[in-house]
Structure 1
């Protein structure tokens, strides 16, 4: 695993349906994400926060809310993440809402094309985020990033990164999904997205889900983890704008993170949708940082 990590704050809730995710980066810093990662022998470069347009909080226009601002924020994220990857660093995007995964993952895909690597994306989330303007009445772009990355969305968004589509659905593994809109369900099925939903995890266990999600990774694979904090059950992570009951428990989430760490392949990370305005004494940020620590090798005992 890369030894230098770069923290990139993206303080915006431009794609969300609730205000507050713009405060997420600072809450993660308050929860000591930097010092905790340094305690694992990593060099941590905190690049501060990106500066983008304010949230105008307007209704949708032609199926999208705040599209010009969403495009600007994602271009800023794309360039920042791409710059860190080009320097051999492991970028950690501190969101912000999950629309920013579009900028982040398109940068990772561009980097993989540059260096001739395969890409695997783990999407840890309660939602598939595979909506289009035709499928969602809200127009909130945080429900659309995976679809946009796969080429289904407005031209301004799908072309960020220079290649359309930026990724193939075959490169994505979604884990913890438990809230999918009716039209989105059909679209996910048509596109062949690989989804380990909560029913699968209930029946087969987190271990089997993760073994399948991580199968066939090799030394030439860049593993990107996109961690939406609403992946977690709201009992342990109340500080999100779109809580969905019945998510992974603390122990299931820890196993998920530890199995990712065991691969040694994670090379970029998003942490998104943390909403301190809805949290209890920064509890959710602290749980998120604890799980991120496990992604970087924290375990109860030394593992062979």
Structure 2
């Protein structure tokens, strides 16, 4: 990584979905030793603490359209965008800990203030490309990539006053294995590059990461990694809210992070959807910390 200082931002958000517990994800990751792990790699670590998250809306306060907790998610996204932008201005590497994946709306908004051609690696079982019109659930954690592309409700697409934050040709989704009909349609319409589990099995992670790095390196001025722990197989990462069997293995994920570290192209990252309530002895948070170690250059020899 280009920066020798990492600033950790916790986002204890559980408003983008309905299963409680993911708001404790940042604490679980800290408890699993992320600060100590990165300090051993000779980074200067600043833990900025957690941003403030609003309250979950009661059922009677829900909007008439298909977006749950819209006001609170939007407000938290604005706070996070501002914090991420502040971190970038100090020259530090923003490392955001979730929280559910709706936090990516704020992360990408903050990054978009600096990077005009931001690349995004979306490491996830899901496309997160839904809108209020296509979402089966109304859960905003299934919408952050669409919102960042400028598609969806203005309260989500307009965070930080920038729309869109990213371009579809600068996005690579890795590990997809659960896509809704509206998401499949949008992927085809926008020409978004996606490596499903079919490609992971058929091509292997080495080739996928080589292609991803080659695809993004010359067309972007920064690359953000958004890693949802449900991208991994539930056997390796059981503590997530929306597990999907048949995912990327622990070892394949380490290889992906190691190759990104060698590329030197990642300028920001977030790790999301760690839910300690659904976990086994903090296993998923420990996996997240181990993967961060590889992303930031940890090696056996």
Aligned to 1:243: 243
> Counterpart in 1 of 2:38?
37
2:126 touches 2:179 (CA, 8 Å); kept in 1? yes
Match of 2:67 in 1: 64
User: How far apart in 1 are the matches of 2:38 and 2:178?
Assistant: 32
| Partner in structure 1 of residue 256 of structure 2 | 256
Task: Tell me which residue corresponds to 2:85.
Answer: 82
Structure 2 spans left out of the alignment, 5+ residues = none
Q: For the Cα contact (< 8 Å) 1:60–1:139, is it kept in 2?
A: no
CA contact (8 A) 2:131 2:153 kept: no
Establish whether residue 288 from structure 1 lines up as the match of residue 291 from structure 2: no
Which residue in 1 is equivalent to 2:233?
Answer: 233
1:9-28 to 2 correspondences below 5 Å: 9-28=10-29
CA contact (8 A) 2:229 2:271 kept: yes
Residue pair 2:274, 2:285 contacting (<8 A) in 1 also: yes
Q: How far 1:256 sits from its partner (Å)? A: 0.7
Aligned positions of 1:32-181 closer than 5 A: 32-56=33-57, 58=59, 61-113=64-116, 118-181=117-180
Greater mean deviation of Cα atoms: 265-274 or 154-163: 154-163
What whole-Å deviation, never above 9, does each CA across 1:137-177 have from its counterpart, x for those lacking one? 21000000111111111112111132211111111101011
Q: Distance in 1 between matches of 2:107 and 2:182?
A: 26
Distance 1:164 1:245 in 2: 35
Alpha-carbon distance, 1:119 to partner: 1.8
Shift of 1:80: 0.7
Aligned residues: 297
Cα drift, residue 210 of structure 1: 0.8
Q: Residues 90-119 of structure 1: CA distance to partner in whole angstroms, max 9, x if unpaired?
A: 011111110110110121121113xxxx32
How many Å separate the matches in 2 of 1:277 and 1:231? 18
Instruction: Name stretches of at least 5 consecutive residues in structure 1 with no aligned partner.
Output: none
Q: For the Cα contact (< 8 Å) 2:22–2:275, is it kept in 1? A: yes
TM-score, normalised by the number of residues in structure 2:
0.95
Partner Cα distance (1:149, 1:220) in 2:
16
CA contact (8 A) 2:119 2:220 kept: no
Structure 1 position 190 matched with structure 2 position 193:
no
